[in-house]
Each structure stands twice: as C-alpha cells, then as structure tokens.
C-alpha cells in the first residue's frame, strides 16, 4: 500500500490537552507529503512562522495509506432530549 504523510497543527502544547469540543482549537491540516522526510521538512519550515509561535509543540505528522478505509467503525451520534 502506498503511504502519504499529513502534517497537522493543533493549538495546544501537548496532544493530551486537546479539547475536541473547543472550536477554537480545531486542528489544521497544513499539507500532504509523499515521504516522512518531506513532512518533517515542512514542519521545520512552518515551525518558524509567527502564527505557530504560541503552540510550537502542536505539530503532528500522521501516516496514512492510500485506497484504504481508515474509519470503519463510524461515529457515535448523541441526541439531546427535546426541550419542549
């Protein structure tokens, strides 16, 4: 299987502190690269930009496979009770 590498940035210092419900912390996908070396080079370039200075440890490189289902379990939908 062919791999690609996505570079993401989270507005946090540590991934454990990430709050998925906080829209201000929404992760940003910054690019997709053909090799891990190219993805790491992108992180090094982007790390110096002022918009990432407050969260320098927020960069993540995610390995993905092309033509592969990666979220086969779906997701959970929570319904709120009617307020009427």
What digits encode the pLDDT tens for the residues 50-78? 988 888 888 999 999 999 887 777 767 77
Residue 10 has pLDDT above 90, yes or no: no
Residue 14 pLDDT more than 60? no
Q: Decide which of 27 and 49 is more confident.
A: 49
Instruction: Tell me the three state secondary structure of residue 4.
Output: strand
- Specify burial of residue 60 (Cβ count, 10 A radius: 0-12, 13-18, 19+): middle
Mean pLDDT along residues 2-12: 90
- What is the per-residue pLDDT for 83? 62
Could you tell me which of 64, 31, 36, 33 has the C-alpha nearest to residue 46?
31
């Amino acid at each position: 299987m062919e791999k690609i590498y996505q570079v993401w940035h989270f507005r946090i210092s540590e991934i454990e502190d990430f709050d998925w419900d906080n829209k201000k912390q929404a992760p940003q996908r910054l690019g997709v690269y053909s090799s891990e070396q190219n993805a790491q080079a992108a992180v090094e370039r982007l790390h110096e930009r002022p918009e990432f200075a407050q969260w320098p440890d927020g960069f993540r490189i995610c390995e993905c496979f092309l033509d592969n289902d990666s979220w086969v379990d779906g997701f959970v939908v929570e319904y709120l009770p009617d307020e009427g």
